[in-house]
Each structure stands twice: as structure tokens, then as C-alpha cells.
Structure 1
């Protein structure tokens, strides 16, 4: 296998002619409901660079939406997958188990926050982890209600969509959704009506008021929260808010579920984002970066909660597939040996000063936020006008794509750029990508 190059190179316009032809096949074969952000068709990838069918080499600031944290073809992952595939690809853990599943659960029980005794179960996707976490919480507590937050994103299955906040494109036309789901205001400092200084206290008070007045604490099984919201706009809650929510839940026998699907596995500079405020969730849902690009997800939690479910109540035919488990063990080994938590913090030290400089120079960046290699800028109308600016966001995104930089937007209002580079990308690649983003922002502003 030839390693992917580590530099940008454009041989054609983006997308190139071979990608255009491939996209015609896609239109004829794939549901139009499957959206595609940048229709370049990839043949190789690694080191923060994607190579397409036209020979173009694009810089990757998306990591497949925070999946390829260790890289697109990390050597340990590639070797582990090949070895496991040569032995067996499937037996179903619930029928005839295998050691790899157990080893992944042991790693999760050790790595997730808290020193208490834990158990884990494996499944296929983030949405599946979310649904299983809710099932477990309801079974263990005997309570029906679940509380989530404005701007939340928890997946695309029915219960996960009930928990997700954004209507278009995720929820519109797909209802009715699962019941007994309630939504509290998010501690969103930039947009909190009382101002950023009052955000933590006031958002916590609003959360308590909603639970007590509309739900009932004694009826609430769980509160599900992203320690840093993902699709909702990389919203970092006001400092102290998450800890207060966790303490209040513990007081009332409500389970705190941390959705660490996008934030987990070194992405924020810690193994898990909840660690930043020393919050220990009762249950943690993980996926994305866990297995170097292979489909795997998990729920990890307090032993007494996870073991409350009767045998056979959890599982799934493909959950904890042996190849995905081998990939996860190799990815975790890579994260430890290469100190990818430290690398994520290095990425922040490279990105944040550049992004803050852009914020000072251009009046359209309302905020730079995030942690580690999970950073974002929110584009607004002007320095004194925080009105979301999705049109400028789309224009900048299109310019980045044409220049060979894969960027992702997000946010309830479609006005946030999220930066999620793979952690094997060298600084030279990251710096070039930041230069492209700056040029795109300048060019879109100048029009």
C-alpha cells in the first residue's frame, strides 16, 4: 500500500472530471436523501491529506466528522484489521463470544471518567449507543422521562431524533418521535440572553425549573448532555454549569449520560471532554474516534446500572464486530503511545492564535471556541451584531472546497465552521489549511 502524500496539490478544478463522472453514478444509484458536502471521490488518505480519483490532494479539516482521529490508515489499525480479518470476520458475540470484545470493554471501563466499577456494551453507531443508554437508564431507574438541551444532536434514529434539536435537515418530515423527551435551555455563553457572565447560573436555574415544573424529578430517568455540543455548533457550556447539573442529578437519583460520541478519544485534549470539569457521568456513550474509521460504538457506565438490565436485553447482531474491536484496540494503543491527547492540545496552540487573530481583523467572527482539536468559529453579521450569518458561511465553505480544503459547517443556524483535523496531520499541513481558510474568509468578505 502506497502512503498518502502529506501536501496539497490540485491537478484539476474541484471537483475534477473523474469525480464528476463518479457523482453521476451516485445520483443514479444512491438515495437523494444522502447528502454529500464535497463530491470528490477519495482513493487514499492519511496525514491530513485526501487523494481523489483525479489525483488532487486535499487538506482534511474534518476527519470524517471526528472519526479518523488516529489517521485514515494508522499502521497499527491497518495491521490489526488485516490480522483479524484473516482469522474470522464474525460469529456474533451473543452466540459464540471472542476476546476482542471483552478487551475493548476493559479499555473503556479503565479510560472513561471515574474510578468506580464499570461495565460496557458494544454496538455499531453513535445513535445506537444513545438509544441503548436511554434504554439502560429507564430500566435501571424505573422512570420514563429524559431531559436533553437546545442545540443538541444525538443521532438520526427515532429516539435519537427526539433528543436532537435541529429540525432541518434532521427531523423535518420524519415524525412522530418517541415521547417523554423534554428540552432545557443550553448554557450557550455567546447567545445567553442574560450575558455570558450570568450564563452558568441562569441556565442551571432554567434547567432545574423545567425538570421540576414540567417533568418531575422523580419521573426523570436521565439527563443526556454533550459536554461540548457537536452538530449544534461546538458550543462549550459556561464554566461550572455542567458540574452543577451533574451534582443536581446525583442528588435526585437521575442518571447523567454524557454523549461523548464526537468529543471522546483525545479529541478535546483529554480522553473525554467531561474530564475538563472533573465531571463523572453515570453513563458514557462513545463512537466516532473509537476505532480508527471502523463502525463501533459503546455504552459504558456504573456496574450496578449496566448490570440492572436482564440478560438478553442488550445486544445486536453486529455489535462489537471482531474486526472493529481489533481496530479499536489498535487505535487506543496508538492514542496512548503517541500521546494524542497532548497532540490535540498542540493543535489548539497552533489554531487558536490564528483564529483569534482573524476574529480581531474581521468583524464577522463572533466567537472562537472549543478545546483541543475540536475548535470552531461562529460567523455573524458584524462586530456589534451577533445575527447568524449562514450565507457568508456557505460562501467561505465553497471557497475552501475549491481551494482544496475539506471544511465542515455546523450549528443550529448554519453559521459555524468546525475544525476537526486528524491528529496525524503535521503542522505544515495544518498551517497551510489555516492559510486557505483565511484567504477564503477574506475573499468572501471582499465580494
Structure 2
């Protein structure tokens, strides 16, 4: 279905931005009978969760992403969208019960089963914590459960958990907070943190499962969505930055082309720029968001033997990385033999380390890995990646802009108002909701 032929049965819809929110919006709009034109300023789709160009990889035959991403079983909108697009979950993900354990096997590992009993059994069996510490965590979680995972919206995660033992806060709460919200516990919204815990740990069997990609991010959503959209006649204009949108009759004009509706699914910066002439207050709210970077340090350590494909790392002064991924255990060795021995160390909430410089940060991470993995020598640095505007800081009382920008002009993206922090699931849900709103 072309943009012209689709006008008779549905609306002519422009989607600006082919990240995960834009791809979700474009796909849903086509399934609802609309004629879609998708604009993307980068050469390829994916936004902040994308495959890097082939020439960017330090190892031939190894596809790299702009950073290490994971999903969890509670990402129902994302997993549902992937299924619609024909992505085989078993081939795309290494799915396993939640495990936040370090190289010594210390930490929390949830067994399969119903949410509450699994959490209780997992906490009681957690290694590296005293009985008093484990009971304190169960008591705190029980209190959150009884209160419906609600709290004073002014609280930070650090304030919410201040009475917990130091070892629990440092070894479990803080890493979990920065992984989920990309915001340090001292700044992070306790209300949003509790919402994430409720939907992940207590929503039902499998909700807390780790979904570790076996393939690069492009092979998850962007490739499948691009093929499906093309098959439905949608137009994808990559490498084209939209210069302006204008009101036109009862609709909108995007760089001179007429549409009935527009979905701004670009970055917060680009969306605010395009919306400002029509909704200055909306743009001001978006521009007020503060962003936090994520650094991924890729190393080669053939001598390393990780107990699991994802490990928690002990972070602290001089130990910046919180999580470590073994690409050799995640990727198919027959398709990507170059992944063997490649590890990805992730630093969330990385603003302080960006200021120190990526080269200096990489050296510190190499030393951290040598120490915690008990390696004879530091691993070999392959590349350091930094997504400087990875997510917004998820702070208490944060104001986020609504989905409706102006009549016929909608916004989608993890920066748009919604129940979740800046995550893939938040982006996908907002994209689907924006497309549904057009039909309503």
C-alpha cells in the first residue's frame, strides 16, 4: 500500500524517527490501515538501540551494538511486537530466570515459578548476605507489596531504602536501580523504582526473566520492522533529517509533503525542535529533561570463564562497571566465531566517568575486570562506546511531556509521559499508543 493509495482507506501518517518508538508507531499505524511515511535522519533504523556499521567493529565478522541492552519478561509490549513481526523469541534471546550474581556466585538468583514464592525462595537462598540482611530485604519488600508498591512521590530510592543494611543497598539495591533507571539511587525516583519492581518481580511467572539478546540489536526489531513495513507499502526515508513541520489545512506538512497526522518519534532534542513553533510549552518541558550517559567497554579475554552469560560486578570507587556480558556465550559460534572471548562491561549512570575521559575509563575497567575475574593479565581493549544521551535522569516528581502535542500532532518515545523510565519497553508502548490515538 503506497502513501497515495492508503489515503482512501486511512490517514496519511508521517512518523519522524525510526528508533524503537517510531518503528512501533509505524507498524501499528499500517496495521490500522494508514499510509505511513517514516523519516530517519541516520543511515539505519534503531535509534539508541541499534547495530553499528560493519566498519565500526574491531573484529571482522562480529556485529556490534551502540551499547549492551537487555530486555526482561515483563516487556510484554515489546515481546508482543517482535512476535507480530515474526521474530522467533527462542532464536533471538537467551531467556533465563533473573540472576544478579557476581563472579564469586554472590547475589540474588530467582528460581522459576510464581512470583512471590520465587522471590522469597531466591532471597532466602541468596549467597553473600547474612540471615539478618536477607530477612531485612524480605521485610522491606513485604511492606512495599502491602502498600501496593506506592510511596511518597518525593522520595528517592536512597531515602526509600535508607533503613536497609549497607551491604544490601550497595550490593543489590543500587545496582538494580541504576540498571533499571540509569539513575543513581541518591537521585532516582522511588515511585518509579517501585513500579518497575512490581511489574518485573511480582507480575507473574517469567516477568523477571532476563532476555539476553543472542543477536545484534538490528536483528531484533529494526530489520524485521523495516521488512514488514516495506511489504505493507510504507515508505522509509533514511538519511533524511526533517527540517520543519507546518500546519496545512486540516493536517500537517512535513518538508513540503502533506499528511493528515504526524507522530514525532525522534530524539527528545529533535522532537522539541520540530514542535516548538506549534507547542512551545511542550518543547520547554522536553528540553528540561536531564540526560545520563551509558558507557560500554568491549574487551577480549579468552582466558576468562564466566559462570553465566551476564554477571554483576562489584562497583565502587575505582570500579565503575556494574554488569558484564559474555558475547561468546550469547552469540551463535557458527555465525559469529569472532565473539568468542569478547566481554562487554557496562557503566550505567556514567556522567562522572565521561568527564574523566573514555580512554582513562577503559583502563580502569580493564583493571577492574582483571581483579574481579582473577585474570593473570588485563583483558585487551577492543573499543569503548558511549551513548551520551542514553536516558533521561528519572528523578522524583519529574515532569514529562504528554503524547498529544497539538491537534493531529503526536509524540512517541521514552521521554513522553508514561509509567516507565527510559527503557525499550517504554519507547515501544508509547509508539503503539500514539498510532492507536490517531485512529481514535
TM-score, with structure 2 as normaliser: 0.27
